[in-house]
Amino acid sequence: MPDIASLEGDSAYDVTWPWSRGEELVPGLTCVFRVRNEARNLPWVLPPIFSAVDHVLVVDNQSDDGTADVARKVAEQCGAEDRLTVLDYPHPVARAGGDHLATPATSVRSLTHFYNWCFSHVRTTYSMKWDGDMVLTPEGAGILRDLAWQLQSTRAIVAMPRHPLTVVDESTGWLDLSLRFLEPWVYPMGPEFTFVKAFDWELREFPAGVERIVLPEGLCVEVKWLDADEYAHWRRDGVDFTNTRLYRKLREFEVDEAIRNGDPTTVQGLVKVTAPEGVHIIDHVSRDWLWRQPRPLVRHSLPAALRERVKA
Amino acid sequence: MSDRRVVYVVGSGRSGTSTMAGTLQTLGLHVPQPEVVADATNPKGFGEPQWVVDLHDELLRRSNVQVSDGRPRAWLDAGTLSGDQGVRERVAAWLEEQFAAAAREGVPELVIKDPRASWFLGLWRACAERCDATSSYVTMLRPVTEVVGSKQKYYGADQGAITRTAAWVNMMLGTERATRGEQRAFVRYGDLLADWTQPVFALGEAFDLTGVKTAMAVDIAAVHKFIDPSLRRVTLTWDDIPVPARLRELADETWQVLDGLAEPGGDTAESRETCDQLRAAYAEQYGEAEAFAQSTVLARSRAAARHARRDAEQAAAGSRSAADRVPHAVRAMVPAAARHRLRKAMGRERPSGPAQGQGQGPA
């Protein structure tokens, strides 16, 4: 009897948690990627993750760019083949926002079910979701590597700020330092830490009073490729982005548009970074640039549209 | 590839860490100055940079961890502070200065030893990387009974043998975990005293230390003079140390696996897995002991809170004037004119004005 039977009756994609199977979780940290067409980013994203966590689970959701093969190849290059599990999730998953809202939580199409299914394959005491475009700095990897064993003495959630980096070309990027984009990433595994449905996307639950550790800024960049037009699929008409739940997205639109229009200097908090010759901008920012910058890196400010709304 | 090297000498205090640091220093590695001054507990000197000791003391205070801490979560508390950017900047700037000083003397190779260092290895590793230096770790090993006995003898009996044994297990297993995957070596104190040339030569090769590899006869002779086997003054067994059988078993198993790590080729996946199992077993045992003694912990917390309240009240009372401490009803019995004269005599006259109405303010 599964913990969560899929609405469509596809038993291969029912969710059964390890504690229901009577499987004991081993001390450690598993990083879970739910990815679709991240072949371009994984060579930057996976190596620091392999150096930081005990196990990596890549769940490929209908990629057509060879994402799974790239993951396997990078694991091999890192000598981490035995620490990688690749799974396939063949169902189309509802997009965040209205599509998600209209999808029942136990449907194989729901982000909620998708997340629960992915995390039900974790066999360590801690898990972290991670996006296929987030690059840890070496110092971030070191801190996570230490946390992977130090956390075993407690049950805590770990939040980490991230800094969006829009890659214009190999040597130029714009780093958004206006907001901390602070989100919890690392959670203990257990029945109190599973996913439920929220309005726009899924939400990982946690018990009241759980210990929360906040890591310093400057440990992670979120890569956005200007040439990929990543926001093309986002529906904007009729969506109230001034809602605080969504203002991170609004900020991303603002930044993307400003860079596309050639006037990024008008957006407060955007910093242009140029890599030395022969060094890719992602490597430069993550390995050499971030740790040298004075703190605080981020000085909080609201996106222009929100500021106007507050004034009004 | 940079030629900068930093060797961290770690492990429990009283395990020969000073002897190892002093040996590497004698062979040409730089111990940042000034050092902690030698005393009766360590007559040949500690090989500990004072700056490092002061920094670690500050960080331990901030993270509420003590030098010998038996709590498994002490690693998380200290580790969380290790990521602080301000601390990283200070340590990296200090390391830069030390590499410059070492380079002026000969080669940019440092040896940093402090029994507190194990708590902050993530910090040191990251800061060495900022300085483009290669880090390596020597963990000194000495049988737990000797360490506990030596600490009881030289540091006093304020911590009992059980507490010290638990802290040793936590420190050694945590140090093993924290140095895993890094360039590291485990050296028995006994081996260092018996024939220091073998383990130290091996370190020079494994860590590519110019100071050791190019040591001259005069340096080697100086190490022979420095190492004094008679310093191993405490040799005890479990018969001398009253520790419950369960903890003793865990400590023995910990010693056995660490002892195996010191063998050539002994740092195997199997022994690391044993360390993981022992760490989990220790955490479980510690958790049970903590739960067992919960009533004592709560009683102490209540007593501490009561003391803190009393201290705060006394401090507040001390800041009030003698007149304020006289009850209002008694003060009101003193005629107004007399009160005025008294205030004048005490230099506490009230300003005149409309606010001085009847019944306003304290009498």
pLDDT 10s digits, A157-177: 999 999 999 999 999 999 999
Nearest to B4 by CA among B138, B199, B136, B202: B136
Residue A40 has pLDDT above 60, yes or no: yes
**Which of B86, B88, B280 is the closest to A27 by Cβ?**
B280
Q: Lowest mean pLDDT: which of A36-40, A234-238, B128-132? A: A234-238
Chain B residue with Cα closest to A150: B76
User: Sorting pLDDT into bands at 50, 70 and 90, what band is B174?
Assistant: very high
Residue B268 has pLDDT above 50, yes or no: yes
What pLDDT is recorded for position A302? 60
Mean pLDDT of chain B: 89
Interface confidence: ipTM more than 0.85: yes
Chain A residue with Cα closest to B88: A291
Nearest to A284 by CA among A294, A274, A296: A274
Note the helical H segments in A34-184: 42-52, 67-77, 98-101, 111-119, 138-150
Strand residues in chain B grouped as ranges (E): 5-10, 109-113, 134-141, 184-188
What pLDDT is recorded for position B228? 81
Residue B362 has pLDDT above 50, yes or no: no
User: Sorting pLDDT into bands at 50, 70 and 90, what band is B63?
Assistant: very high
Q: What part of A 186-225 touches B (C-beta under 8 Å)?
A: 213, 215-219
Residue B208 has pLDDT above 90, yes or no: yes
Residue B359 has pLDDT above 50, yes or no: no
- Dihedral angle, C-alpha A166, A168, A171, A173, nearest 10 °: -30
CA-based R_g, chain B, Å: 28
Q: A166 near A174, Cβ under 8 Å?
A: yes
Strand partners, A62: none
Instruction: Kindly report, residue by residue over A269-279, the tens digit of the pLDDT.
Output: 899 999 999 99
What is the pLDDT averaged over residues B8-24? 93
- Asked if A146's CB is within 8 angstroms of B82's CB, the reply is yes
Q: How far from the centroid of its chain's Cα atoms is residue B106's Cα?
A: 30
What pLDDT is recorded for position A266? 85
How far is B338 from A182, CA to CA, in rounded Å?
Answer: 66
- Asked if B178's CB is within 8 angstroms of A291's CB, the reply is no
Chain A residue with Cα closest to B93: A292
What pLDDT is recorded for position B353? 45
Q: Do β-strands A211-214 and A124-130 pair in parallel, antiparallel, or remain unpaired?
A: unpaired
Strand residues in chain A grouped as ranges (E): 26-35, 55-60, 84-88, 124-130, 134-136, 156-160, 163-169, 172-176, 183-188, 195-197, 202-204, 211-214, 220-225, 270-274
Q: What b-and-e string marks burial along A207-227, b requiring 16 or more CB atoms within 10 Å of the CB?
A: eeeeeebebbbbbbbbbbebe
Q: Which residue shows structure tokens 């009974």?
A: B145
Residue B276 has pLDDT above 80, yes or no: yes
What is the pLDDT averaged over residues B105-113? 94
> pLDDT exceeding 90 applies to what percent of chain B?
72
Identify the sign of the CA torsion A29, A35, A41, A42. Answer: positive
Residue B360 has pLDDT above 80, yes or no: no
How many Å lie between the alpha carbon of B11 and the closest alpha carbon of chain A? 18
Q: Does residue A154 belong to the interface with chain B, where contact is any CB pair within 8 Å?
A: yes
Q: Lowest mean pLDDT: which of A263-267, B71-75, B188-192? A: A263-267
Strand residues in A131-258 grouped as ranges (E): 134-136, 156-160, 163-169, 172-176, 183-188, 195-197, 202-204, 211-214, 220-225
How far is B250 from B254, CA to CA, in rounded Å?
Answer: 6
Instruction: Kindly report, residue by residue over A67-86, the tens digit of the pLDDT.
Output: 999 999 999 999 999 999 99
> pLDDT exceeding 90 applies to what percent of chain A?
79
Q: Lowest mean pLDDT: which of A258-262, B18-22, B335-339? A: B335-339
Residue A311 has pLDDT above 60, yes or no: no
B345 versus B284: the higher-pLDDT residue is: B284
Chain A residue with Cα closest to B273: A27
User: Sorting pLDDT into bands at 50, 70 and 90, what band is A312?
Assistant: very low
Mean pLDDT of chain A: 92
**Which of B130, B178, B276 is the closest to A27 by Cβ?**
B276
- Asked if A149's CB is within 8 angstroms of B72's CB, the reply is no
Mutation pick from B76, B130, B177, B288 vs chain A, by most beta carbons of A within 10 Å, is B76
Question: Tokens in use for B159?
Answer: 């911590």
Question: Tokens in use for A27?
Answer: 């001390």
Residue A287 has pLDDT above 60, yes or no: yes
How far is A285 from B88, CA to CA, in rounded Å?
Answer: 18
Residue B232 has pLDDT above 70, yes or no: no
**Burial tier of B156 (Cβ tally within 10 Å: 0-12, 13-18, 19+):** exposed
B115 versus B358: the higher-pLDDT residue is: B115
**Which of A27, A139, A154 is the closest to B76 by Cβ?**
A154
Phi-psi region of B225 (alpha: psi -120 to 50; beta: other; left: phi over 0): alpha
Residue B356 has pLDDT above 50, yes or no: no
Q: Does residue A149 belong to the interface with chain B, where contact is any CB pair within 8 Å?
A: yes
Q: B24 near B226, Cβ under 8 Å?
A: no
Residue B355 has pLDDT above 50, yes or no: no
Q: Does residue A148 belong to the interface with chain B, where contact is any CB pair within 8 Å?
A: no
B17 versus A248: the higher-pLDDT residue is: B17
Question: From chain B, which residues contact A within 8 Å (Cβ)?
Answer: 71-73, 75-76, 79-80, 82-86, 88, 122, 125-126, 129-130, 177-178, 181, 276, 279-280, 283
What is the pLDDT averaged over residues B176-188? 97
Instruction: Kindly report, residue by residue over A162-218, the tens digit of the pLDDT.
Output: 999 999 999 999 999 988 889 999 999 999 999 999 998 999 999 999 999 999 999
Q: Which residue shows structure tokens 């895993």?
A: B180
- Asked if A295's CB is within 8 angstroms of B76's CB, the reply is no
Phi-psi region of A73 (alpha: psi -120 to 50; beta: other; left: phi over 0): alpha
